[in-house]
Each structure stands twice: as C-alpha cells, then as structure tokens.
A and B are shown apart, each in its own frame.
Chain A
C-alpha cells in the first residue's frame, strides 16, 4: 500500500518532467536550453526511481512483522492525514469564498471546538485572539489589501459581514 503510493508520487514527478520537456519544445534555444538541460536528467532520474519503486512493490509487498497491527496504525494515520488536509483545504476555501477575516474566525473556532475539543470559553478566547492579531497587525497597521470573498462577488445580494474587518 505504502510502496505503491510512493510509486504514484514518483510517477507524478515523472509526468511533471515529461510535461516540462513537452512544453519547451518550441522555445528559442536561449530560452529553452536550461529547461531542457534540467528536465532531461530530471526525467531520467524520476523514471529510475519509478522503476525501482515498482519493482520493490511487486517483490516485497507482503513482508512486515505483524501485518494486522500495522494495517490498523496505517488506517489511523491515513484517516488523520485526510482529516487535517481537509481542514487545511477548508481554510483555503474559506479564505477564497468568505474573505480572510471571516475564514480566520470560523477556522480557528471550529478547529478548537470540534477537533481539539476545547472548552467554549477557551475556544472563543483564542479565536478572539487570532482575529485581533490579524486585524490589529495586518489590517490596521499594514493595510494589506484583502479582497472580498468570492461568494459575495458571485451573489451580491448576500449580506456581508463588515464588522469582522
């Protein structure tokens, strides 16, 4: 399982190098020389890795001290990885759809309350803290341009939340 996934990653890298070579086919020499010079050996290395990992995968897939216990840990690990990646991706979507300030409040609070299972007041306190840090430094002092959430641009009739900064 683990080995095959590793081979998938090597395959991805191989494809990236191949794509890079393919893209650069029509470029003038002075623009293409370096990309060619880098992507060609890169492609060879990646193929080497891919072959090596595929071989290892077919040879020693079943070995291991106690397959059941390992499988259980692996399942847990997989579940937790998927879980945190989903949180991170949700935060990203929140920033994109709802704007930074709203996403910060939602993400911090929900993560602390649901995932970390902290008490109400602690979650609220830390959330307030995260928002104050963001607002005080990045909005008030540095005036970073934070754009409006995409959702509000798509549906202009949605009520915006200006009090969040």
Chain B
C-alpha cells in the first residue's frame, strides 16, 4: 500500500501530469469564481481533451480543475454574496457580513485557508478510508440517509439567530419550495403553475443567486456605499488574521472537514448538505451564538472546510463502487471509463490501480496547496474590489447574477426565478427573516421526502430500530436540546 502511496505522488509530480494539473487549475479557478458555471459542466466540457492523456495525467487535469472550483467559489460567495458554486452558499452567511464590516481580507483568508485544510483532511480520509470503505458505505441505507437529513433539519433551530418563529416559518417555506415539481411516487405535478420549467423543481442556482445576490445589490444602492460599508480606508488588513483564525479554531476546522468528508462519502446526499451541517456545527459549538450571521469567522471556517473535504470523501464511492456521489462525480466516472479505469475493488488494490487512486489523493493535496497559495498572494489586491465605489460595481454584479443564473440551465425561466427570489430575499432581509433556514429547507426537503418514502416502502416501521438510525436520532435530539441545556448552565453559573 505504501509503495502505491509514494508512486501516486511521484506520478503527479512528473512533468506532463503536473503541467496538466496546472492547466486544469487555471480553468477551475475561473469556473469556480463564476456563478452558474459549475465544476460538473466544466469537467463535461473538458472530457474530449483527455483522450490522448494517460490515466494519471487525466486525473491530475480533471481533479485539479474540480478541486479548485470549491475553493475559489468561496471567493465570490464572500465578496459578492453570490455563490460561485452551489456548494458555497453557507460561506455567504457570515463571510459577506464580514466584508461589510471591512474584514474582507480576514474572511477570504479564513475561507481559503480552511478550504486548504479541508481539502487535506478530505484527501487523508480518502487515503485512510480505502481499506474500510466497503462496510462504511454499506452501513448507510435510505433510513440512515433520512436520519442524516433529519439531523440537518434539526440544525435549523440554531440557524435562526433572531426570531425562532420566523426561522421555522422560513424553513417551512424552503421545504415547501422543494416540493415543487413532479412527485416521484405518483407523478403528481405539485405547484408547477402549468410550467414545464418547474417539473424538475425550482432550480437551486437561480434561487440562491437571486435570494442572496439581489438584496446585496439593493443594499449597496440604498446605502450608497462600496461593498465594505465601514473599515479603515488606508490599510488593507486581515488576510493573515484569517489564516490565524483558522489555526486558532483548528479543532473546529478539522471536525467540520471530517463531517464534510463523511457526508461526501454517502452517495445521494451531496455537498449541499455538508456545508450546512458544518455551519450548524460551527454555530452550536460556539459559546456565543448571537454573533453568527453578523460576521463570525467560525461561520466561514466551518463550511469553507467542509465544502472542500467533501470532494475527497465523494471520490470514495465513485472509485470503489462505480457509484458516483453526485453530478460531478458521475461525470468523473465517465472520465475514468475513457481512461480505461473500471471502478471497483481493483482501484483500491495495491497490486493493480491503487496508485491511481492515490494520485487522486495527491492531486487534491497539491492542487489546493498551489491554488490557495496563489490566491493568498493576490488576496490583498482582490480585496480592494470591496472599496470601489458601489455604483460602478452594481452593473457588473447584476450582470453576474443574471448570467450566472442563466448559464446553469440555459432556460429563460431562470431569469424570472432570479427576479422572484430576488424580491423574496430583499423582503426577507428588510423584515428580518433569516434566509439560511429557507435554503436548508430547499436543499433537504426533497431528500427527506424521498428517503422517508423509500424507508417505509422497504422496511415498514422497522427501520426506526436500525442501530445507526438510533444513534442519529440521539444526535438530533442533542442538536435540538444542547442550546437550551447550555443556556441553563450559563444561568446557573451566573447564579452561583
């Protein structure tokens, strides 16, 4: 095994493979920054170029591209409140308020550095999980999926910040939005308003881009400021501060990375869930929950780490079973086939292709290292964008919002969705409704419904007795009641 481990490294660092990785990273950098253009599309468009490459070269090229996307996607999320990738929504919640406070450098430093650590933990998980991956994946069936989603929903109670009633109402609205489309069990068209566009549900990208991007544009115009509303004009501070934050909260970063990697392993859950579970964990593990949503650096570190570590995790079922853990992995699987690699036990067998699997690990490690290094070098410059006069930025941000939404599905309905959800987002900001529970509801609703139906259709009520399900039930109860318990203890301490 160790030999394969080293051979994977040397193969990635050898000449053509390394050059291909850099090329892929260049593409991934841009694709990650642009909203709407996702890693999945980018990989699909690049597939024709890998025909002449050797497997390791192709792995370096595609994974280099893909792993960088999640990292640079955070930059757009933090700066403009428009998610660069669908898996980078949660970094907006605290990252963008930090920008407004004039801490753009710190927020980006934290996002990038935690991404790097997250990617490393994810890669490490991929390497470490290889021997035990089979029982691990086998242990998670639909009942367990449902419970993981349920734990995610339980986190909603901690995402509220202000009014609990509003948080739960927003969550209900999000869950309701996720019901739009044709029901898988009966084919009933639900809330589609007679539009073909809504048959497969409300597309996520226009929704988040509108919900977060449009209110941002409105606010900039109303306040007449630059992106950063306050802060010292003279010196750009904070990138180092963000890195220090990451190190200061290393425990949180590592825990969120492991969470991300574990959720990434489970096919069918995907990055949307990982980032929010990590965010919820960051909120809950902090003694002072009031700071969240207003620019708490932990709220950037958690999802920043998780949305990168999930890539390492997601590779595991793709490589070991040929079961992709999401759209991007499905396309990567197609790429593996082109390279002549057949997923399955051979891929983790040191006598056969384990070195290629390890070259994936190394690509994740090295590509993120280089990408974050380069990004950090330029960060002080990028941050200056936040001080440009707002009215000059507004047309560009608006353009990015509409183009980003359209580029994901090429449907005019996306433009309309941006307007609708933009207005909704603006109203929610104006009247203090939290948007995070809504997004979480949209992402989780469908998963919850389908997995609950599958569980009951297959197991009746007996699924509630499965061991992992019971553990997850306990966890979700803890998640819900821990804040109350913590509060009580604090009061007792004060009294004593």
Do chains A and B make direct contact within the complex (CB under 8 angstroms)? yes
Interface size on B, residues (CB 8 A): 53
Please report the C-alpha to C-alpha distance between residue A115 and residue B419 in the assembled complex, in whole angstroms: 21
B190 near A27: Cβ-Cβ < 8 Å: yes
Tell me which of B185, B221, B399 contacts A30 (CB under 8 A). Answer: B185
Tell me which of A12, A95, A126 contacts B402 (CB under 8 A). Answer: A95
A112 near B395: Cβ-Cβ < 8 Å: yes
A30 near B395: Cβ-Cβ < 8 Å: no
A49 near B407: Cβ-Cβ < 8 Å: no
SS class of chain A's interface: helix, strand, loop or mixed?
helix
Q: How far is the CB of B120 from chain A (nearest CB, A)?
A: 31
Using A13-B169, A27-B188 as known contacts, say yes or no to A35 and B176 having CB atoms under 8 A apart: yes
Please report the C-alpha to C-alpha distance between residue A10 and residue B179 in the assembled complex, in whole angstroms: 21
Which residues from B are CB-within-8-Å of A42? Answer: 169, 172-173, 175-176
A147 near B221: Cβ-Cβ < 8 Å: no
Using A6-B431, A77-B222, A81-B222 as known contacts, say yes or no to A115 and B176 having CB atoms under 8 A apart: no
Tell me which of B166, B222, B407, B416 contacts A84 (CB under 8 A). Answer: B222
Quick check: is B474 within 8 A (CB to CB) of the other chain?
no
Please report the C-alpha to C-alpha distance between residue A95 and residue B419 in the assembled complex, in whole angstroms: 12
A38 near B453: Cβ-Cβ < 8 Å: no
A20 near B191: Cβ-Cβ < 8 Å: yes
Quick check: is B60 within 8 A (CB to CB) of the other chain?
no
Q: How far is the CB of A153 from chain B (nearest CB, A)?
A: 12
Residues of B267-316 at the interface with A, using a CB-CB cut-off of 8 Å, are none
Using A38-B179, A111-B394 as known contacts, say yes or no to A48 and B222 having CB atoms under 8 A apart: no
Using A45-B165, A138-B407 as known contacts, say yes or no to A84 and B392 having CB atoms under 8 A apart: no
Quick check: is B406 within 8 A (CB to CB) of the other chain?
yes
Quick check: is B217 within 8 A (CB to CB) of the other chain?
yes
Q: How far is the CB of B387 from chain A (nearest CB, A)?
A: 16
SS class of chain B's interface: helix, strand, loop or mixed?
helix
Which residues from B are CB-within-8-Å of A108? Answer: 395-396, 399
Residues of A12-28 at the interface with B, using a CB-CB cut-off of 8 Å, are 12-13, 16-17, 20, 23-24, 27-28
Using A30-B453, A31-B190, A138-B407 as known contacts, say yes or no to A96 and B415 having CB atoms under 8 A apart: yes
Which residues from B are CB-within-8-Å of A88? Answer: 214, 217-218, 398, 419, 422
Q: Mark B415-441, 1 if CB is under 8 A from A, else 0.
A: 110110011001100110100000000
Which residues from A are CB-within-8-Å of B398? Answer: 87-88, 91, 107
Interface size on A, residues (CB 8 A): 59
Q: Mark A102-130, 1 if CB is under 8 A from B, else 0.
A: 00100110011001111000000010001
Which residues from A are CB-within-8-Å of B423? Answer: 85
Using A31-B185, A92-B419 as known contacts, say yes or no to A112 and B392 having CB atoms under 8 A apart: yes
Tell me which of B172, B190, B395, B422 contacts A130 (CB under 8 A). Answer: B395
Which residues from A are CB-within-8-Å of B175? Answer: 34, 38, 42
Quick check: is B391 within 8 A (CB to CB) of the other chain?
yes
Please report the C-alpha to C-alpha distance between residue A35 and residue B172 in the assembled complex, in whole angstroms: 10
Which residues from A are CB-within-8-Å of B229? Answer: none
Residues of A108-160 at the interface with B, using a CB-CB cut-off of 8 Å, are 108, 111-112, 115-118, 126, 130, 134, 137-138, 142, 144-145, 147
B179 near A35: Cβ-Cβ < 8 Å: yes
A118 near B419: Cβ-Cβ < 8 Å: no
Tell me which of A17, A39, A145 contacts B410 (CB under 8 A). Answer: A145
Which residues from B are CB-within-8-Å of A112? Answer: 391-392, 395
Q: How far is the CB of B402 from chain A (nearest CB, A)?
A: 7
Which residues from B are CB-within-8-Å of A115? Answer: 391, 394
Please report the C-alpha to C-alpha distance between residue A32 and residue B176 in the assembled complex, in whole angstroms: 11
Which residues from B are CB-within-8-Å of A46? Answer: 169
B396 near A130: Cβ-Cβ < 8 Å: yes
Q: Mark A28-67, 1 if CB is under 8 A from B, else 0.
A: 1011101100110110011011001000000000000000
Using A92-B419, A116-B392 as known contacts, say yes or no to A38 and B221 having CB atoms under 8 A apart: no
Q: Which residues of A contact B (CB under 8 A)?
A: 5-6, 9-10, 12-13, 16-17, 20, 23-24, 27-28, 30-32, 34-35, 38-39, 41-42, 45-46, 48-49, 52, 77, 80-81, 83-85, 87-89, 91-92, 95-96, 100, 104, 107-108, 111-112, 115-118, 126, 130, 134, 137-138, 142, 144-145, 147
Q: List, sorted by A's number, 11 A–B pairs whose CB atoms are closer than 8 Å.
A: A16-B173, A17-B176, A30-B186, A34-B445, A49-B169, A52-B165, A87-B221, A115-B394, A130-B396, A130-B399, A147-B412
Question: 7 tightest A-B contacts by CB?
Answer: A42-B172, A116-B391, A84-B221, A31-B188, A31-B183, A45-B169, A6-B431
